[in-house]
Structure 1
Amino acid sequence: MQQVAAEVEELSLAERAYRAIRDRLVMLEIRPGAPINEEQLGQSLGVGRTPVREALKRLQYERLITTYPRRGTFATEVNITDLAHISEVRQELEPLAAAQAARRATGVDRAGLTDLLAELESVGTSGRDAADLMRLDLRVHRAIYTATHNPYLEDTLVRHDNLATRIWCLFVDRLADMAGHVEEHGPLIAAIVAGEAETAARLARSHVEHFERAIREAI
């Protein structure tokens, strides 16, 4: 029993390490090209090396870190040429996720989305900084993906949204209306909560297209 309990604890620590390191990479708190130090990460997160190593295995698969023989492990560079490929995937799957969320969201999902909608409505007057706005954007997208109740679709979209967010972070100082971009989620969430699948799909596609256009204008 003690061994089973230890394994469960190790899994939970690995998941905690994964989420924390992932979001540092996504938000560019770990800068592109920066070396990844397992010991330092473990100390900062209050976990041992094993959970960190398990987390790094997942993050390499998600293209957030890369390992070079005899050189070490590094945060991947942000390549603007990836934007078209990422957007191509998201333009197909984001509308699908929004429609499925509108059809499948549980009462708990809709309550959580309604809370996010209320938060979005105050964005214009809240004085949030850019990093806080991007974290809100991530929370909104992840809540929608969760509400699809399709773990394969959720996993795929989380990974691509993470990569898109890294590009966004790279050009954040050049973007004119970050708050407006985040506020765009309001009608989308309202459509999902109301169960309006076709409207949700249309708004999701428009949002992805607007994101790509805004980045290209900022380059």
Structure 2
Amino acid sequence: MTVLPDEQQDGPPLSLSERAYQAIQDKLIMLEIPPMAPIDEVALVESLGVGRTPVREALKRLEVDRLVVSYARRGTFATAVDITDLAYISDIRVHLEPLAARRAAEGAGPAVREDLVELADATESLDVPRLSREELMRWDMRVHRAIYHAAGNPHLEDTLVRYDNLATRIFCLFLDRMTDFVSHVEEHAGLLRTIADGEADAAARRARQHVQGFEKAIRAVI
């Protein structure tokens, strides 16, 4: 049985619907449910150990996130991934990722900056060639989410998480064709340190280059 996400440490416990949402979202992002695959509600109910109502509520939210799509009398499917998606997603991220990096560099408090430095240290200590695809993807998401949160704007954070989820699906889809992950990880560490140092202009520039480099790397292997 798939284990639902752990309860969050702060705030009220997650509802079954929220926990189902996070679990199904993870399956979609990491391509455990491949693009265009039908969504088996019964299998999800059984694997997650919840009722049909939380699963259906989760799928409605995931449709808003563009991770699933529903058709009358046909059912619900994981959304497709194609080159057009990459262009659209990058067009948004190339503007919002630098904004988040700039806001984090300008406004993050001492504790947050310390956390970013620690994450940069941990990133630099990674043995990248030994990482599995899933480990690499999850670390990538961890870094990006730390920056979004450090920006201090929950609406910007929510928007960026949504588009980073879509970008990560594309990353997962073409990851086996890509070779240079070391520089990708090094970019993360440099960006984190620049934000922690309060260098707003440099942080925005690094974030923009990171998004542009991601799109270029994907296009090179398509």
Instruction: Output the TM-score relative to the length of structure 2.
Output: 0.89
Aligned pairs for 1:149-168 (under 5 A) are 149-168=152-171
Structure 2 match to 1:102? 105
TM-fit CA distance, 1:213: 0.6
Q: Does the CA contact (< 8 Å) of 1:63 and 1:76 recur in 2?
A: yes
Q: In proportion to residue count, which structure has more helix?
A: 1
TM-fit CA distance, 1:92: 0.7
Structure 1 match to 2:33? 30
Secondary structure at the counterpart of residue 212 of structure 1: helix
Q: Which runs of 5+ in 2 are unaligned?
A: 1-10
TM-fit CA distance, 1:48: 2.1
TM-fit CA distance, 1:102: 1.2
Shift of the 71–12 alpha-carbon distance from structure 1 to 2, 3 Å rule, reads same
Identity of aligned residues (%): 60
Q: Which runs of 5+ in 1 are unaligned?
A: 1-7
- Which amino acid is the alignment partner of residue 82 of structure 1? D
TM-fit CA distance, 1:129: 1.4
Using the alignment, how far apart are the partners of 2:221 and 2:15 within structure 1?
40
User: Number of residues paired by the alignment?
Assistant: 212
Q: Does the CA contact (< 8 Å) of 2:98 and 2:208 recur in 1?
A: yes
TM-fit CA distance, 1:180: 2.4
Using the alignment, how far apart are the partners of 1:34 and 1:204 within structure 2?
33
Structure 1 stretch 174-183 or stretch 117-126: which is displaced more? Answer: 117-126
Using the alignment, how far apart are the partners of 1:96 and 1:217 within structure 2?
27
- Which amino acid is the alignment partner of residue 95 of structure 1? P
Q: Does the CA contact (< 8 Å) of 2:128 and 2:181 recur in 1?
A: no
Shift of the 24–115 alpha-carbon distance from structure 1 to 2, 3 Å rule, reads farther
Structure 2 match to 1:177? 180
Structure 2 match to 1:69? 72
1:172-197 residue CA offsets vs partner (Å, 9 max, x unmatched)? 11111123212211110001111111
Using the alignment, how far apart are the partners of 1:18 and 1:130 within structure 2?
23
Instruction: Output the TM-score relative to the length of structure 1.
Output: 0.90
Regions of 4+ moved over 3 Å? 8-11
Structure 2 match to 1:130? 133
